[in-house]
Amino acid sequence: MAQSFPEDVLEHVFSFLNYDKDRNAVSLVCKSWYEIERLCRRRIFIGNCYAVSSEIVIRRFPDVRAVELKGKPHFADFNLVPEGWGGYVYPWIVSLARAYPWLEEIKLKRMVVTDESLELISKSFKNYKVLVLLSCEGFTTDGLASIAANCRNLRELDLGESEVEDLSGHWLSHFPDNCTSLVSLNISCLGSEVSFCALERLVARCPNLKTLRLNRAVPLEKLPNLLCRAPQLVELGTGAYSAEIQSDIFSNLAEAFLGCKQLKGLSGFWDVVPAYLPAMYSVCSRITSLNLSYATAQNPDLVHFVSQCSNLQRLWVLDYIEDTGLEALAASCKDLHELRVFPSDPFDAEANVSLTEQGLVAVSEGCPKLQSVLYFCRQMSNAALVAIARNRPNMIRFRLCIIEPRAPDYLTLEPLDTGFGAIVENCKELRRLSMSGLLTDRVFEYIGTHAKKLEMLSIAFAGDSDSGLHHVLSGCESLRKLEIRDCPFGDKALLANATKLETMRSLWMSSCSVSFGACKLLGQKMPRLNVEVINERGLPDSRPESCPVEKLYVYRTIAGPRVDMPGFVWTMDEHVSSRLSRVTERRGD
């Protein structure tokens, strides 16, 4: 049957397949489909840059136009991955530059990107269009200058929340006068001021600009200049949202916003002066995405502004919104899909605002489409979690962070096992879960039993024994990423579920009770896993086998052990025991 269609017909059919899952399925049908598919795959997603080598990728897919790579594990966001761990993109860029002269898009997350890499990107690809750097580091504004200067058809430059060494704002002026192709520009993470004139001219000459996210240094008084030149904007990130209270600044701002009829998303809002919030009232009813998570506005100004946005689908906000604000949100924003509430004072055990579990319960009751939650608070109860679970069986992502580790149900002082158990039992489509508070092995039993669609699980300061880990590894059929910190999980569960690890992207365990010996055994037993131990204190001198490792990162790979590891990372494989004994011998003399 497969042979009866000419190749170009199949290729045309395959061109409608955009998801990797579908393309992977298609390539398993038969050899000729595998061959046809691999020649016409244009987009590659690599969730772990160490899972595969660039050579293997290029050999299989000879004509790729877009590459997405992720480097460090998620817990790197919270400083748990030491500096120098890895995730260097340069070797990838070198290979990609050689193999894909027509590459158009590179998206990187949590990778180390140097100015060298950026310069190489800017000079190697004839039709380069999209550069997205999320939570990356290692480059300076000089690297950005190369991109601006050399990428003639640049459509998208998104610096995400990357750590950029800001040498000067001058890099923006490197965009040539004939560059008119920009569709999306996000420089919100940059500290220094870019030349406003250069920015203004750039915005004016790019008629297709849809997304513009400014940095804090762009003053509010100048925002109207940009908005007037880009009334077609769909997403705007303001700079600092503060200025002296002057009626002409206000009226200019209000008028400029009035002209932005396509605006759907707002972000930025550093240093909010509440008096200027009403300048945006004309766009509020069209806003579907609102990121106020840097905005220090409080109620009533805050809730009044949010309530104007009746079509809101996504809200990111600080806990200044309080329970009362969330109740108002639940009443006015019936289309809400996603809510993230960040803490304004995370390092104080005492609450500085009146935000409790009640706010989240209210939103879960009032917003029928709510499916994605990230919520920081200081108290939680099983009753509230059960209510949320019953209200929202359509929940897909649920991340709850109770600020105090191991905090029990504040009403009953019991563990929160029942509450989270209700979440996994009722929310059958749950794909991502982060838990906190006092949790015993019981909750993991519930998770293993019910969370069949769960793909990513984050656990901290929870559980009593290996039993907990065993429930998760043996029960969660769809699990891809598991990250654990400060839990009493050890060798038994890990070794008993070794084969499970090959079905997952990665496992992270830090400050647990996994021994060097177990890691070695795992590495020896499972050649298709990289079992990496991160021990900043070096290898233990005495009784290394039973010593617990500081951090463990296990991931499946077809690229073999890493070659770019720093001194404090070891791959535990068959070679490691000789290395271990050599270290202890040396220490002895």
Partner 1 sequence: MELELGLALPNQTPMEIKRHIKQKREFAEALENGDIENKKLCLLLWSGQPDEEDDDRRGSQRTDINKRINEEEDIIVGWPPINSVRKELLHHHQQYHGGNWIARVPGRDNNNGARNRISLLVKVKMEGVAIGRKIDLRLFNSYQALKHTLLHMFSKYLKIDRNGNEYTVLYQDKEGDWLLAGDVPWETFMESVQRMEILRNDS
Chain residues binding partner 1 by CB under 8 A are 75, 77-80, 83, 135, 137, 161, 163, 189, 242, 244-245, 270-273, 275, 293-294, 296, 298, 342-350, 352-353, 376, 401, 403-405, 434, 458, 460, 485-486
Name residue 37's beta-bridge partners: none
Helices (H), 285-351: 301-307, 322-332
- What is the nearest approach in angstroms of partner 1 to the Cβ of residue 483? 10
> Which residue, 238 or 458, is less far from partner 1 as judged by CB?
458
- What is the nearest approach in angstroms of partner 1 to the Cβ of residue 434? 8
> Which residue, 356 or 391, is less far from partner 1 as judged by CB?
356
Q: Which of 156, 167, 168, 108 is nearest to 135 (CA)?
A: 108
| Beta-sheet pairing, 569-571 with 529-534 | antiparallel
> Which residue, 182 or 317, is less far from partner 1 as judged by CB?
317
- What is the nearest approach in angstroms of partner 1 to the Cβ of residue 530? 23
Contacts of 201 (CB under 8 A, 6+ apart): 177
Q: Which of 337, 353, 400 is nearest to 374 (CA)?
A: 400
DSSP annotation string for 449-496: HH-TT--EEEEES--SSHHHHHHHHHH-TT--EEEEES---BHHHHHH
- What is the nearest approach in angstroms of partner 1 to the Cβ of residue 147? 21
> Which residue, 302 or 473, is less far from partner 1 as judged by CB?
302
> Which residue, 41 or 216, is less far from partner 1 as judged by CB?
216
> Which residue, 244 or 248, is less far from partner 1 as judged by CB?
244
Whether omega for the bond prior to residue 73 falls within 30 degrees of 0, making it cis, is no
> Rounded to whole angstroms, how far apart are CA atoms 264 and 262?
6
Helix H or strand E encompassing 529: strand 529-534
- What is the nearest approach in angstroms of partner 1 to the Cβ of residue 58? 33
- What is the nearest approach in angstroms of partner 1 to the Cβ of residue 366? 26
> Which residue, 57 or 533, is less far from partner 1 as judged by CB?
533
**3-class SS of residue 66:** strand
Other beta carbons within 10 angstroms of residue 65's beta carbon come to: 17
- What is the nearest approach in angstroms of partner 1 to the Cβ of residue 358? 19
> Rounded to whole angstroms, how far apart are CA atoms 382 and 417?
8
Helix H or strand E encompassing 290: strand 289-292
> Which residue, 299 or 577, is less far from partner 1 as judged by CB?
299
Q: Which amino acid is at 376?
A: F
- What is the nearest approach in angstroms of partner 1 to the Cβ of residue 68? 20
* Token pair of 415 as six digits: 């563990």
Q: Which of 95, 96, 91 is nearest to 64 (CA)?
A: 96
